[in-house]
Amino acid sequence: MLCDAYVVDTNSLQKLLSPGSYIGNVTAPRWSDYEAPLPGAVVHPVSEQDVQTTVKWAAERNIPLLARGGGNGWATTFTIDKRGIVIDLDQLRNVTFSADKKLVTVGGGALISDLTTACQNDTLVATGTCDCVGVLGALLGGGIGRLTGEYGLGVDNVVSMNVVLADGTFQTVTAESSPDLFWALRGAAPNFGIVTSAMLMAYPTDSNNPATAWVGALIYTPEQLDPVLSAIANLTLTSHMALSMTWVLGDNGTPSIIVSVFYHGAEKAGRAAFASLLSIGPVRDGTAITPYAGWNAGSAAACAKGGRKPTWGVGMSHLDLASWHAVYDVWAELVQQTGTERSSMLLTAYPMDKARELPVSTSAYPFRGTVSYFATFTALYTDPAFDAEALSYGMRARALWQSADGLAHHSTYINNGFGDENLRTIYGDSLPRLQTIKRKYDPHCRFNQWFPIS
């Protein structure tokens, strides 16, 4: 009983922090409330040095900790309770460009919207597709997005990282200064430290690298599912292309299939590239030439915080139409249950040729050579009494996808994982080397909240 009632005491920590840093006991809303961390205190550092002070203070007292960026991680691997702390990086949202706009330094708490706004439509950066997501959280898991075809994975665009290690040591990590740690952070960062900022490659715009793209939603009916799936499965994505597909239930109770297309270039070229999808005859065409800061506008609804949203992810080498039809049936059944109407499925696909120019051993992200499609299945509801049933639906969908994923070993992008996957599914062939590096940099497993490799 005493252990259950204990709440971490942070009075001694507050005295060590800079003015502007503060400690509260309320966690900011997360994307999903399902098995969310429930810390005893939330520390809001105002500087990288305050992050270092907090980690050192916690290490000396053996207090569990978890760093928070955008608060969108949904995995069930969190174990933080009232005896531990969350270090919220929400005051470290700075975005600073070099004079030539070819490098950008991003704070550990910066959201994708902070970065795209700072780019001012004259610079592009390889980043994710949801504005509410933390830049570095998404990127350091691998970093897939609309510009993957041109600039490679997000982890391929990292120049250096400022990191607070398990003992409170502060280190600037580069490929030259700490090759093993630089490798491990790019794919498994939360297991090794808190990345308080990172310097990334940036790409100034010009006539060959425009600040605009043809982007938007093509909406189809359920009766068009088969030709839509066939078109996506047979579509060759060139470097300037990307797409996603989601299934949603409209306010009138009618399902819609939404395919979001992206072409970094002129509308005419984009329509030619996606001719196979357009020829099906979407019931609505919402595409338009859009500036960089607006490319993620379609993510607004998906970014809504709160609600229980257990989510299952699967990587695939190809699309198997039979398994996708079966998953659609699972989703269609789920959204008929009371309170689950906003449950959804998301498929994303990006051209991987640029990423595959580098060997798999370039970073700890293990699936650049094998996974081409990334699928997630989300059950969205508010009543905890539905948890067991929600898990049943999600696991059915995941099993169907995995039965035809076309891979030698099941592979799930770490940012999409549910939390119960075996470590080989998350880390692939990188796992043994990661475990060796873990023993060197975090022998006491202080960083153990996000698919812990220990």
Q: What is the pLDDT of residues 335-362, one digit of tens each?
A: 999 999 999 999 999 999 999 999 999 9
Percent of the chain whose predicted confidence (pLDDT) is above 70: 99
pLDDT tens figures, 359-399: 999 999 999 999 999 999 999 999 999 999 999 999 999 99
Q: Is the Cα dihedral 66, 72, 78, 84 positive or negative?
A: positive
3-state secondary structure of 134: strand
Please say whether the beta carbons of 238 and 186 come within 8 A. Answer: no
- Cα separation, 74 vs 35, whole angstroms: 8
**DSSP code of residue 189:** G
- Token pair listed for 69: 């960026």
Place of tokens 């949203």: 309
Q: Is the Cα dihedral 154, 146, 148, 282 positive or negative?
A: positive
**DSSP one-letter string for 262-311:** EESS-HHHHHHHTHHHHTT--SEE--EEEEGGGTTGGGTTTT---SB--E
Average confidence score pLDDT of the chain: 96
Give pLDDT, residue 121: 86
pLDDT over threshold 70, residue 2: no
pLDDT tens figures, 22-40: 999 888 899 999 999 999 9
- Token pair listed for 364: 């700890």
Q: Which pTM was predicted?
A: 0.96
Give pLDDT, residue 371: 98
Give pLDDT, residue 454: 80
Exposure of 398 in the CB half-sphere (CA atoms within 13 A): 25
pLDDT tens figures, 122-161: 999 999 999 999 999 999 999 999 999 999 999 999 999 9
3-state SS of 399-416? HHHHCCCCCCCCCCCHHH
The confidence band for 1, taking pLDDT boundaries of 50, 70 and 90, is: very low
Distance from CA of residue 139 to its chain's centroid? 7
- Cα separation, 183 vs 188, whole angstroms: 9
3-state secondary structure of 287: coil
Give pLDDT, residue 5: 62
Give pLDDT, residue 4: 53
- Cα separation, 172 vs 44, whole angstroms: 22
Percent of the chain whose predicted confidence (pLDDT) is above 90: 96
Give, to the nearest 10 degrees, the angle between helix 225-234 and helix 321-334.
140
pLDDT tens figures, 214-238: 999 999 999 999 999 999 999 999 9
- Cα separation, 389 vs 395, whole angstroms: 10
The confidence band for 6, taking pLDDT boundaries of 50, 70 and 90, is: confident
